Amino acid sequence: MRRPVQELFGDYQNNLYAAAFNVCKNAEDAKDVVQDTFIQYYSLKKDFDSEQHIRAWLFRVAINRAKNMNRTFWRRNKKSLEDYMETLVFETTESEELFETVMKLPNATFEFDSDGNYVISYPLEDGTMGERGGGGIAYERDGSERPLTEDEVLESLNDPEVVYEDDGKVWVYYYDQKIEITDRFEDGVCYVEVSNGDKTLYMTIKYKDGWCSSPHKYQSPASFN
């Protein structure tokens, strides 16, 4: 599937801005991150498997770009939006105008607590506030638990996603990977190893009852939920 960039901009601009700002700590840089993310989506012409896949891709790109913002060499040599737009061919005038106004983002806030939880709040067009949140725990090598740190919460936006389809199939999405695990459950539990080339995660998935991952080993199903 592929959604129009105009729709995605409306749905995700606030969350992407909040995630980027919390990494690069600069409003203008965070705006640049969001605009670059949508430009890359437009340029990629990639078909996605689901809305969850699109969301995971957008957040992965935005957070990686925000991290790059903190590298001095990249900051000194980055292109302006105008220079970048000259390399693109827009299908419609509306698409071009969208990119020219993409930096006009509403304010968003990111709150993090000592228990490893976060809440992103952002204003909606009707004047109300929208929110999304999450958090969790991390497992040490000795099996002990601790709350996620703020950096780990941001990194968790790139975590795998488990999707249960209406036709009964179950998929794991991780970066550009799509893994079907429908027939891999035994007694309601499935173990999956995923890797992005730099990091390997060991996932323990309970059928429609949550999942956890660790870079060290598979966790016991009894240790969560």
Per-residue pLDDT of the chain (225 residues; tens, 9 = 90+): 888 888 888 888 888 888 887 777 777 788 888 888 888 888 777 788 888 888 888 988 888 888 776 653 334 344 444 554 554 444 445 545 544 544 344 455 556 677 777 766 655 666 666 666 666 777 777 878 888 776 666 666 667 888 888 899 999 988 667 899 999 999 999 999 998 777 899 999 999 998 988 889 999 999 876
Structural tokens at position 157 = 């936006």
CA–CA gap between residue 57 and residue 70 (Å, rounded): 21
pLDDT at 177: 79
Of residues 140, 153, 131, the one with CA closest to residue 63: 153
pLDDT at 43: 79
Of residues 16, 37, 34, the one with CA closest to residue 108: 16
Which DSSP letter does residue 154 get?
H
B/e letters for 56-81, b = 16+ CB within 10 Å, e = fewer, are bbbbbbbbebbbbbeeeeeeeeeeeb
pLDDT at 74: 39
pLDDT at 23: 76
Residue pair 13/30 in contact by the 8 Å Cβ criterion: no
- Burial (CB < 10 A; 0-12, 13-18, 19+), residue 191, is middle
Of residues 151, 153, 158, 145, the one with CA closest to residue 216: 145
Structural tokens at position 141 = 């090598």
Q: What is the pTM of this model?
A: 0.43
Q: Which residues contact 171 (CB under 8 A, 6 or more apart)?
A: 49, 50, 162, 163, 165, 178, 179, 180, 181
As beta bridge partners, residue 205 has 190, 211
Q: Which residues contact 141 (CB under 8 A, 6 or more apart)?
A: 216
